[in-house]
Amino acid sequence: MATATETPAEVGAIQEFTVTVIIRRFDPEKDAEPYWQDFDVQMYSTDRVLDALHKVKWDQDGTLSFRRSCAHGICGSDAMRINGRNRLACKTLIKDLDITKPIYIEAIKGLPLEKDLIVDMEPFFASYRQVQPFLQSSSKPEKERIQSIEERARFDDTTKCILCAACTSSCPVFWTDGQYFGPAAIVNAHRFIFDSRDDQAQVRLDILNDKEGVWRCRTTFNCSEACPRGIEVTKAIAEVKQAILRGKP
Amino acid sequence: MTSNIALDAPRSPSARTKRGVNWEKWGWIYMRVSGVALVALIFGHLFVNLFLGDGVSQIDFAFVAGKLSDPFWQWYDFFLLWLALIHGTNGMRTIINDYVATASVRRILQGALLSSTVVLLVLGTLVIFTFDPCPAGADPELVASFCADIL
Ligand code: SF4
Ligand code: FES
């Protein structure tokens, strides 16, 4: 579908294409079922999928609904399924996709669809809250809570989570069993379980040692593949499993 | 690419309230432990049956009967049967849990799975321990060599 509208004179020049995006639309007040709608947009090779959505919303169809805030991969509000993979629209460059074919964009799966690309995130945050994702420490130091570089390194990876839900909504276990805590909740529990300053690791391990806890993980690796922050999600889950077996972090 | 299955909203308050013995943890441990044991058992089984002696061509009624009259191979096969069958059943159970969204269908499939496993375990164990290597009136050519002493 893409035709280079002009031949770039110099190598590395910004190219312009026409890209077809096919978006899964749903308006709960009008539609019984979601449907696919296509739009042609002019894009530059420096553009991201988020820019394509903006062009559609601003120039073609103002009813298109999606979430975004920072547009720079840090707020975690625009996770969506792009060509069947969970990605942040603001971190996915058009030129990295195969633009000879249309780009399919739909809401993340497994959470209730509200409108177009917006899902109800409450179930996701409910399980996040359940793992007590905050520091609980009884010590009252004079100045600060000292932590060595090694102690900090144990949970460094999981501090990077931006709660975009790309992992949880890519998990086949979560798709059929919405009771499963999901990778993101486990990642954020991991962040505090392995924090030497925190006292309540055991409580979180007990919470996750549940029928719907870490044992539900089938090491499908979809979550690691989906995470826009590059967190080794499956590894974090495995570390929590090990900690539960050991009985301590 | 579409998902039109009508599912309850995730984390609807129905489940996740009942606690009790956490079988999932033990199931997970069982899969790892039995997996390691099975690697050894299965390769031992393949090695003895297909490689030692005359290899594949040695397998006939007499060969199997000879093995099943030796207590060592009886217990070997017993562990192979139980570990592998329960390992496979637990795997199937988790697949059903993962992919069958309707509670009633899930219960039917898991019931069928459980009953077929029990039947197979009972039958298999029965065969292992009650196998008659020298059926009366059998052709001496076809049965194990030691049958000549009994018959
Ligand atoms: S672990 Fe990665 S994919 Fe999952 S919510 Fe956090 S940032 Fe998003
Ligand atoms: S808009 Fe903030 S992460 Fe993409």
In tens, the pLDDT along B45-85 reads 999 988 888 888 888 888 888 888 889 999 999 999 999 99
Domain segments of chain B as ranges: 24-147
Residue of A nearest to B30 (CA): A215
ipTM of the complex in this document: 0.76
pLDDT given at position B2: 47
Instruction: Determine what percent of chain A is predicted with pLDDT higher than 90.
Output: 84
From residue B106, give the alpha-carbon distance in Å to each of B70, B93, B99, B102: 42, 9, 9, 6
B42 touching chain A per CB within 8 A: no
pLDDT band per the 50, 70, 90 thresholds, residue B1:
very low
Residue with tokens 């099943």: B68
3-state secondary structure of B54: coil
* pLDDT tens string B111-128: 999 999 999 999 999 999
From residue A176, give the alpha-carbon distance in Å to each of A7, A170, B28: 48, 11, 20
pLDDT given at position A161: 97
pLDDT given at position A83: 96
By C-alpha distance, which of B22, B103, B151 is closest to A205? B22
Q: Is the dihedral of CA A182, A183, A188, A194 positive or negative?
A: positive
Say which DSSP state B24 is in.
H
C-beta of residue A56 within 8 angstroms of C-beta of residue A117: no
By C-alpha distance, which of B131, B102, B97 is closest to B27? B97
Which atom belonging to ligand 2 lies closest to the Cα atom of A76? 3
A216 vs B contacts (CB less than 8 Å)? 24
* Contact check, Cβ <8 Å, B25/A84: no
pLDDT given at position A147: 94
Q: Domain B24-147 adopts which CATH fold?
A: 3 helical TM bundles of succinate and fumarate reductases (1.20.1300)
Which one of A112, A126, A211 has the shortest CB-CB distance to B24? A211
A210 vs B contacts (CB less than 8 Å)? 16, 22, 24
- Alpha-carbon distance of A84 to A100, in angstroms, equals 16
Cα-based torsion angle of the residue sequence B51, B57, B58, B59 in order, rounded to the nearest 10 degrees: 100
Among all bound ligands, the one having the nearest atom to the CA of A128 is 1
Tell me, rounded to whole angstroms, the distance of Cα A150 from its chain centroid. 28
* pLDDT tens string A49-86: 999 999 999 999 999 999 999 999 999 999 999 999 99
* Contact check, Cβ <8 Å, B10/A178: yes
DSSP chain A: ----SS--SSTTPPPEEEEEEEEEE--TTT-SS-EEEEEEEEEETT-BHHHHHHHIIIII-TT-----SSSSSSS---EEEETTEEEEGGG-BGGGS-TTSPEEEEPPSSS-EEETTEE--HHHHHHHHHT--S-------SS-----HHHHHTTTGGGG-----TTGGG-HHHHH-TTS--HHHHHHHHHHHT-TT-S-HHHHHHHHSSTTTGGG-----HHHHH-TT---HHHHHHHHHHHHHHT--
Q: Is the C-beta atom of A161 inside 6 A of ligand 1? A: yes
